[in-house]
Chains A and B, each alone.
Chain A
Amino acid sequence: MLRIHCPVCGLRDETEFTYGEDATIRRPDMNETDPKIWHDYVFIRENPRGPHKEYWHHVVGCRQWIVVERDTLTHEMFGSVLAREAAV
């Protein structure tokens, strides 16, 4: 079981969160009309073996989406920030 640091609530069990996705992908602008750009956003993932920035939702806690950096090979945690405060 992972233990995830929520910037609002502190260190909590994985079971309080749901996993989102790769947090480095950027949603295109609403006015974007190129299907290729939307395709890449919705379907394509780097899927790295190693450090990975990813979204988690503190769904039974403060309901904040957070960006967690975690190693996908070792599950080591490197830290987390609120998604709304993460650098774009």
Chain B
Amino acid sequence: MSHYSALSILRNGLSGNKEWSRAWRDPAPKPSYDVVIVGGGGHGLATAYYLAKEHGIRNVAVLEKGWLGGGNTGRNTTIVRSTYMMPGNTQFYERSLQLWENLSQELNYNVMMSQRGYYYVFHSPGQGEALRRRANVMRSNGIDAEFFDRVEIMKRLPHLDYSATARFPIHGAFLQGRAGTARHDAVAWGFARGANQQGVDIIQQCEVVGYIWDKDKIIGVETTRGPIRANKVALAVAGHTSHLASKAGLRLPIETHVLQAFVTEPVKPLVDHVIVYGGAHFYISQSDKGGLVLGGDLDGFNSYAQRGGLPVVEHTLQSAIALMPSLSRLRLLRHWAGAMDMTMDGSPIIAKMPIEGLWLNGGWCYGGFKATPASGYCFAWTIAKGEPHPDNAKFTLDRFERGYQIDESGSGPYPKAH
């Protein structure tokens, strides 16, 4: 495997780009592994990478039913931030952001982590107070957060609607400067290449259809490419977690919902930051290619269809113009959707399951992409050591029984509300 650098580009360019080697091998599955990770998205691949690198567990396979990064890894709006105030979330997402900050060097793969800042614009004193509490929790935990009034925001974000006809006038904004965006595909590919370099087998077009049991213990998986045994089976299949868990007889506090994303035609730089509109659930940023990337609310009903409907298209675009009136003449290029694991409190699960041999990483709701490196790091730790890392210790399955809901929005046990 070659090391990527400007020099490698130069050398390969001069030889007609015919010497590049595969970013990852395409091995046939072995009959058994120490750990089988189900799901070749960012989380599964990151888990494999950290299992090998941090814990020396290299006899690992990642099984992917389609192509790497083909689920929510390749469908999200690429926002990375650590603006969480509930104990459990705060530390976890900050660890993730810190991993992001050096991920390109770590993987020798440019994941294009761009810390262009994340502004949350608010529209009432009450909304400002709730955000202030969040910002204060971040600051007291050593995470950067700033607060600005309307006058300052008018200077910093010039094209927003500050007119008298704004339905929800802008009172001010909260900023996390270290937040930003990254290139989603690169994260999957970078972790895949990194894991592969350490001996992990990455097996695409291999769907898990069931489990191999020894009495009440799981000792492997049945796949479309035959049985594969494993000491530990780890699920990282957010969007389809319930489906795979149900094959093991597990019922979970998860509903699968549709979340849409939108991109406009590419234009010259117009939006430098990630901006969130507090008047409705809406966020916008601009990709390096120039397309404005927009996101909004869930479609609001259980669905695995990865296809969204017009009501949310309308709502999202309405919010876009409410925030930035000049977007009206810009054209929507494409909208698509992902299947989201929505938990009952809006926070994830990274834990050993009550079934021997089975580990679970899922329930990512809106937070999956930004969590990718820390999710892999903590899941690998949990699998390797048999107990959680302090940063994911609260992401248990039994927290609902114990009354510890990590409810960042205070919306209650209603998945579509998170």
Contacts and interface: CB of A to CB of B under 8 A. Distances in A.
> Does B associate with A?
yes
Interface of A: 1-2, 14-15, 18-19, 21-22, 35-36, 39-40, 42-49, 52, 54, 72-75
A31 B310 CA distance: 43
B353 to A, nearest CB: 14
B214 interface: no
Interface string B17-39: 00000000000000000000000
Given A1-B311, A75-B307, 9 more contacts: A39-B400, A39-B401, A42-B344, A46-B246, A46-B251, A54-B301, A54-B302, A72-B302, A73-B305
A47 B401 contact: no
B184 interface: no
B311 A14 contact: yes
B304 A49 contact: yes
Contacts of A46: 242, 246, 251
Given A39-B400, A42-B344, A47 B256 contact: yes
B344 A52 contact: no
Interface string B108-142: 00000000000000000000000000000000000
30 contacts: A1-B310, A2-B309, A14-B311, A18-B300, A19-B302, A19-B416, A21-B414, A42-B344, A43-B253, A43-B413, A44-B252, A44-B253, A45-B252, A45-B253, A45-B254, A46-B251, A47-B242, A47-B252, A47-B302, A48-B242, A49-B256, A49-B304, A54-B301, A54-B302, A72-B256, A72-B302, A72-B304, A72-B305, A73-B304, A75-B303
Nearest to B344: A43
Nearest to A44: B251
A45 B304 contact: no
Interface string B300-337: 11111101011100000000000000000000000000
B161 interface: no
A45 B251 contact: yes
Contact of B309 (A14, A36, A49, A74): A14
Interface in B242-278: 242-243, 246, 251-256
B303 A72 contact: yes
Contacts of A49: 240, 242-243, 256, 304
Contacts of B253: 43-45
Contacts of B303: 72-73, 75
Interface in B225-252: 240, 242-243, 246, 251-252
